[in-house]
Amino acid sequence: MDIAERAPGSVAPSRARILLVDDDDLLRDTFSVTLASFGYAADSAASGEEALRMLRERAYDLVLSDVVMPGLSGLELADAVSRRHPDVPVVLLTGHSHADLAKSALRYGAADFLAKPVNIGNLPMVIERNLERRRMEFERLARRGEEVLLAAVEALVVAIDAKQAYTAQHSRRVATLALWAGESLALSPGERRVLELSAFLHDIGKIGTPDAILNKSAPLDPPEWEQIKQHPAKGCEILSHIPDLSAVAGIVRHHHERMDGAGYPDRLSGLAIPLFSRIISIVDAFEAMTSTRTYRPSRSVTEAAAELQAYAGTQFDPDLVASFLGRIERGDRLPIALSDP
């Protein structure tokens, strides 16, 4: 597994993957060649709609988009990306006459803008400036992690405690397991903090789920299940309003996506799902299976491991499942106490 490619915030500038969005074929081709000449991996989309589809299928480090396009405009694209992929910066390209429009777009999710005609020599500076902001956000979380945890996070967990008795303990256990699973990935302190906070807060969106559904001992009916499926998006919305937690928000949003694209809320597939979301998906399922619930007894580690293996490649990242189960098979001690099966 290439951690430099797959861990958020760790992509070297020369390997950053840029999504270029412009309805002008000539400009799109010219910019693609230019970006490649600077060492970036560049993909292109001819419309905002195509860009959103590509973002569902592959992970990108930055989006570079024209403002005025048929169909979904650059402003609407920036707004959609900021909500669905809040850790991906959007840089808008606009003509001089649209400079004021581009500035106002910063309030709707765009990270930066460049005026047309673009000075090609300025492209790397603008791209690196925005990638560096993302990297600094991870490191800032490492420096301020305890402050964030004690302020916003603790208040949110108290709210979860009031909703569902087991959820807070489940979240703490998932956070502990996520860090254990991530030990083989050579993560930086900032990345470890983001993984821990994301796992700890992955179910925060259940604040908006009715108590009767959360604590129901019988199987959920379809309308109730649809309400449960809203919690990742609700969690992302809550966290996106907290300073320093925008990177966490995107990971929380996607922790119920599946490798085969059949998950929710955005039906991302494969490596388009953030790495930390894929880790949390595995340890969340493992912790749930090995814990007692009101509606079922706990499973053994062997049974839970078999379930993860059965769904590796469809629901779960097969490489991460192999890494997680490999530690268990080697006899590495799990960092949490398990319920008696």
| Total Cβ atoms within 10 A of residue 262 | 11
Nearest to 272 by CA among 42, 89, 3, 6: 6
- In order of 4, 73, 87, 290, the CA distances from 61 in angstroms are 12, 20, 8, 36
To the query of whether residue 163 is one of the catalytic residues in this protein, the response is no
The answer to whether residues 112 and 62 touch, using CB atoms and an 8 Å cutoff, is no
User: What per-residue string of b and e applies to 182-200 under the rule 16 or more CB within 10 Å gives b?
Assistant: beebebbebbbbbbbbbbb
Instruction: Please identify which of the residues 103, 206, 229, 234 carries the catalytic annotation.
Output: 206
Helices (H) and strands (E) in the chain, counts: 16, 5
Which residues face 293 on adjacent strands?
Answer: 296
Q: Could you give the maximum distance between any two Cα atoms of the chain, in Å?
A: 68
Q: Residue type for 81, please?
A: V
Q: Measured in whole angstroms, how far is the alpha carbon of residue 256 from the centre of its chain?
A: 10
- Rounded (10°) angle between helices 318-329 and 167-181: 90
- In order of 113, 232, 278, 287, 329, the CA distances from 263 in angstroms are 33, 11, 12, 19, 28
Distance, in Å, from the CA atom of 62 to the CA atom of 108, rounded to the nearest integer, reads: 16
Query: Between vectors from CA 57 to CA 12 and to CA 276, what angle results, nearest 5°?
Result: 55
Cα dihedral sign, 7-10-14-16: positive
Q: What DSSP string describes 310-333?
A: HTBTTTB-HHHHHHHHHHHHTTPP
- Phi, psi (5° rounding) for residue 114? -125, 135
Q: Report, as residue numbers or ranges, the catalytic residues.
A: 206
